Structure 1
Amino acid sequence: MTYSIRSGVGSRQAWQPIVAFVCTALMAGAVMVQAADPDPLQDFCVADLSPSGPRVNGLPCKDRANVTSKDFLFTDFRTSGNVSAKGTNAYPSFATVFEYPALNTLGISHVRLDFGIGGVVPPHTHPFSSETLFVVQGSIYTGFVSFDGVLYAETLQKGDIYIYPKGTLHFQINVGTGPAITFNSLNSQYPGFLVAANQLLLSNIPAAVLESSLGISNATDLNLLEASVPPNW
């Protein structure tokens, strides 16, 4: 069967509403794809983290009558993290909605990274946000791998900023001669934190899958790899 569209003013007029609808739908789709957390519907919604709070896609609001100025203050970044605790001589201190409930619905969170000499934050992703890194102290080599497998990396000094696009694998290492500190911001109240080695080697993926994927010929090599992953990330 052959289909045809007749030319003429009448047919063009008939198609105009359809074309307008398609264009609008495509534009709306593009906005949704690029968005991070949705815009809030009120000025603030301090999260209710109590176990009895209702479970929703996000977190419920604390009763506004019980909110004080202290709810908007976060002081945990005043002290450095214990860099020996993670096994790579670096430590992330998080300010997500779960540590800082006032961030609820506001589409932002922060991380303080403390590095000893040679300290490493291993390759990881944030599935829900992009991220910027600001060097407060020291010298950091950092970068991300794009979706087409290209590494973009630079050595940063105090005062420099670097960005990691949403969902890309990225890392940080202290390449200076002393301790280093960075302050990172993310455009999600809970960006997620997926460490590549943990996801791959410590998540009970069948050994046959890993051996074939990594080109490992025996279980002994795989066991050595699994045992070498820092346990606390």
Structure 2
Amino acid sequence: MVSFGIFSLSVCLNHILCNDFCVADLSPSAPRVNGFPCKDRANVTSKDFLFTDFRTAGNVSVTGTNAYPSFGTVLEYPALNTLGITHVRLDFGIGGVVPPHTHPFASETLFVVKGSIYTGFISFDGVLYAETLQQGDIYIFPKGTLHFQINVGTGPAISFNSLNSQAPGFLVAANQLLLSNIPAAVLESSLGISKAKDLNLLEASVPPFWG
């Protein structure tokens, strides 16, 4: 037996800690750990590693912002389990917007598949870094930063986004601020709103899809 610190070659050979993959077992009876337990390796096939959901465009008309995210998380794509990856397809109608949001547990890259997208993030010292991207361009959003996307082209746009966590988190700024039961007095003072009816108008205007 060859030792590697506190681990050993025998541990890896027994497929206890050193699996190259761990296709998630999403069945209700499977025990829950940090992530999902592994599907029995004997039942894994090449189809487990194939994901085809991004072949179909998302319905941008249902979100209230004319943009739609199609997710490829471990729940839709169990082969991602333990690999630290999440994928997203973003479809944009003309003028479509993905609202400002954060992923507290992941950095993200955006690759423009089609169209022209203005995108950017706010750094921790309050600086906006933003560019207009064309087909084939990539932009990166550092972990935890507030970022957004808007289609600034004359037709539909598509991007393919990757995040370096299977559970990146998705926190929409407007929902957190306006729909999380923060006392009205706090919001009125923080936003410079003098009348509660103005606050009510803002709350009612938040697109529910992105909650």
TM over 0.5: yes
Shift of 1:231: 1.0
Following the alignment from structure 2 to structure 1, what is the Cα–Cα distance between the partners of residues 173 and 28?
31
Question: After the TM superposition, which segments of 4 or more aligned residues of structure 1 sit over 3 Å from their partners?
Answer: none
Q: Deviations over 1:14-55 (max 9, x none)?
A: xxxxxxxxxxxxxxxxxxxxxxxxxxxx11111111222212
Deviations 1:69-121 (A, max 9, x none): 11111000001000011110000001011111100000111110000000000
- Residue-by-residue CA offset, 1:178-211 (whole Å, 9 max, x unaligned): 0000011111112111111011111112212211
> What aligned pairs does 1:1-233 form with structure 2 within 5 A after superposition?
42-233=19-210
Shift of 1:218: 2.0
Q: Note the alpha carbon deviations across 1:111-155, whole angstroms, 9 max, x for none.
A: 100000000000000111101101110000000000000000000
Identical amino acids, percent of aligned pairs: 90
The whole-number CA distance in structure 2 between the counterparts of 1:108 and 1:160 is 20
Question: Separation in 1 of the partners of 2:26 and 2:186?
Answer: 39
Over aligned residues, Cα RMSD in angstroms? Answer: 0.9
Distance in 1 (CA, whole Å) between partners of 2:199 and 2:37 is: 44
208-217 or 194-203, which moves further after superposition?
208-217
- Distance between the aligned counterparts of 1:87 and 1:77, measured in 2? 21
Distance 1:52 1:148 in 2: 46
For residues 181 and 46 of structure 2, the distance between their equivalents in structure 1, rounded to whole angstroms, comes to: 45
For the residues of structure 2 that align with 1:149 and 1:175, how far apart are their CA atoms? Answer: 24
Structure 1, unmatched stretches of 5+, are 1-41
SS in 1 for 2:99: strand
Work out the CA distance in 1 between the residues paired with 2:152 and 2:110.
16
Q: What is the DSSP-based 3-state SS (H/G/I as helix, E as strand, rest coil) of the residue aligned with 2:64?
A: coil
Bigger strand fraction: 2
Q: Aligned to 1:122, what secondary structure does the other structure show? A: strand
The higher radius of gyration belongs to: 1
- Equivalent-residue separation in structure 1 for 2:167 and 2:157 (angstroms): 25
Provide the rounded CA distance (Å) in 1 between the counterparts of 2:25 and 2:184.
Answer: 41
**Partners of 2:133 and 2:24 in 1: how far apart?**
35
**Distance in 2 separating the partners of 1:88 and 1:78:** 22
Query: In the aligned structure 2, how far is the partner of 1:180 from the partner of 1:216?
Result: 36
Q: Distance in 1 between matches of 2:75 and 2:102?
A: 19
Distance 1:123 1:115 in 2: 15
* SS of the residue 2:140 aligns to: strand
For normalisation by structure 2, the TM-score amounts to: 0.89
TM-score, with structure 1 as normaliser = 0.81
Distance 2:81 2:177 in 1: 31
Structure 1 stretch 60-69 or stretch 92-101: which is displaced more?
60-69
5+ residue gaps, structure 2, are: 1-18
